[in-house]
Amino acid sequence: MDLQVGDIGDGPPLVLLHAFPLSSAMWSRQVDALGNDYRIITPDQRGFGGSPLGDYEPSLDLVADDVAALLDDLGLDDVVLGGLSMGGYVAFALFRRAPRRFTGMVLADTKAQADTQEGREGRRKMIDLVREGGARAVADQMLPKLLGPTSHDSRPEVALAVRQMIETAPVSAIADASRAMMGRPDSIPDLAAARCPGLVIVGAEDVITPATDAAVMHRAIAGSRMVVLPGVGHLSSLEAPDAFSSALSGFLQSGM
C-alpha cells in the first residue's frame, strides 16, 4: 500500500496518526511547531487524504501493517508513535504486533476499550448514513461532538477546517474505517505490558473519549504522564494546537 506521507524535519522520528474521518492535514500545526527539532512523519491512513483505499477486508491490523511497512521503507526500526482517537486505535494494533518499534507512545483523545454493543450499533448507523447522505451528512452528525463547546463558541475556523476535511473523505473510506473500528479488541492488557514511556493527552471537554477513558490508559501504562487540556474537546491537536504541541514537546524533551 503506497501511503501518502508527510515527512518533514530532521532529528528523532515522531510518527503521528490521524483521527476518523480526517487526514494527516490535522497535524499541520504540530509539524510547524516541532519540525525544527524532530522528523515528523504523518501518513494518510488507507482511503483518507491522498492515500488509496485498496481492496481489503476492513481491519485496523491491516492499517497498522501499512504503518509498519512505511517504517520499513523509511529504514526506521523504532520511533515515538502517537495517535489521536482512531490514530490511537491503530497505535494499539501496531503495538500488539511490534512493541519493540515504540520508543515512546502518545495517546490523545482515544480509548483502550473495545466498542460496546451500543457503540457497534452506532457504527452500523454511520455506515448507513454515509452511504445515504455522503460525507456531508457525516460532518453534520459528527461536528457538534467532535469539538468542545469552547471551540464551537470561539474557534469557528477550526469547525470549518474540520468540516472541509470530513467532506473530502470518500464514502468508502468512511464506511470501511467504521467497520474496522467496530472490530477492534480491548487494548488495556497490551498497555499494561508496555515498557516504553507514555503520554496521554485529553481535552477536558472531550465527550467522545472523555478524561475517564484517558485515566484508564494512564493507569494501565506504568510511569505514563497525563495532560488534560482545558477548554478543548475531542480534536485537541486542532482545537488547542499550541498547548498540544507544548505537551508533546515537554514529553519528548524529557527524554521520556
> Nine-digit cell at 245?
504541541
Between strands 5-8 and 39-43, the pairing is antiparallel
Q: Is 38 or 48 the residue whose CB approaches ligand MLT more closely? A: 48
Give least dist CB 155 to ligand MLT, A. 17
Which residue from 14, 16, 17, 19 is in contact with ligand MLT, where contact means CB under 6 A?
A: 19
Residues 151-210 that bind ligand MLT (CB under 6 A): 181, 208
Q: Is 19 or 94 the residue whose CB approaches ligand MLT more closely? A: 19
Q: Is 33 in the site for ligand MLT (CB under 6 A)?
A: no
Give least dist CB 124 to ligand MLT, A. 13
Burial tier of 36 (Cβ tally within 10 Å: 0-12, 13-18, 19+): exposed
Which residue from 23, 30, 45, 85 is in contact with ligand MLT, where contact means CB under 6 A?
A: 85
Contacts for 195 with CB less than 8 Å, ≥ 6 apart: 99
Q: Is 26 or 70 the residue whose CB approaches ligand MLT more closely? A: 26
Q: Is 20 in the site for ligand MLT (CB under 6 A)?
A: yes
Backbone CA torsion sign across 29, 35, 37, 38: positive
In the chain the first and final C-alpha atoms are separated, in Å, by 32
Between strands 13-17 and 39-43, the pairing is parallel
Q: Is 24 in the site for ligand MLT (CB under 6 A)?
A: no
Q: How many residues bind ligand MLT (CB under 6 A)?
A: 7
Q: Is 112 in the site for ligand MLT (CB under 6 A)?
A: no
229 bridge partner residues? 203
- Cβ-closest residue to ligand MLT? 85
Q: Is 178 or 245 the residue whose CB approaches ligand MLT more closely? A: 178
Spell out, one character per residue from 219 to 248, where the chain touches ligand MLT: x when CB under 6 A holds, - when not.
---------------x--------------
The C-alpha atoms of residue 189 and residue 182 are separated, in whole angstroms, by 19
Give CA 66 to chain center in angstroms.
Answer: 15
Residue 74 falls in which region: left (phi positive, over 0), alpha (psi -120 to 50) or beta: alpha
Q: Would you tell me which residues interact with ligand MLT (CB under 6 A)?
A: 19-20, 85-86, 181, 208, 234
